[in-house]
Amino acid sequence: MRLSFRLKHHFFSAFRELFVHHHGSLEFRAKIFSLIIAANKEATVESYILIKNIGLDLYKEDTDRANLLMLSTKELVKKVQDNNGLNIDALVLNIQKELKIIPRYAHKIDIDSLRRLLRYTYDTDTLAYQENILEFLQKIKDETLNNKG
């Protein structure tokens, strides 16, 4: 059964844009979660389990979409941690660009859900950094929604 899940994941990873309904929306959410997790050098397995649970709530118990959200987040965090063409600054710029193109994505920035990830941060400096990121996300969410009118 574990092999079946991996094959399904690799298949979806390769053809995500074709087979996943609202792929862009899911990817945007993954970027938001990744931003918070990647700021913590000690990212925990519990963070990803929490994202899957948040995904189950968001996607009305759709396990495949929740898993895809978790795996997409994990991939982005790994790219940041491995310095593989992505860093936190690039992720922030990417999020800002997407919000300019698709302002309705601002509704997908759920600060309460993101704040739940902070319970897995034990370093006070990292926690302060993540709090600053949350403040930034709230600010760009508010600005985007207020400028949409």
Burial class of 56 by CB neighbour count within 10 A (0 to 12, 13 to 18, 19+): middle
**Is the CB of residue 37 less than 8 Å from the CB of residue 77?**
yes
pLDDT tops 70 at residue 17: no
- Boundaries of every domain in the chain: 2-148
85 band by pLDDT with thresholds 50, 70 and 90: confident
pLDDT tops 90 at residue 24: no
The pLDDT of residue 140 is: 97
Structure tokens of 136?
Answer: 């930034």
19 band by pLDDT with thresholds 50, 70 and 90: very low
* Measured distance CA(80)–CA(74) in Å, rounded: 10
Burial class of 69 by CB neighbour count within 10 A (0 to 12, 13 to 18, 19+): buried
Q: Which of 20-24, 84-88, 145-149 has the highest mean pLDDT?
A: 84-88
Structure tokens of 41?
Answer: 């050098």
pLDDT tops 60 at residue 72: yes
Structure tokens of 25?
Answer: 């929306």
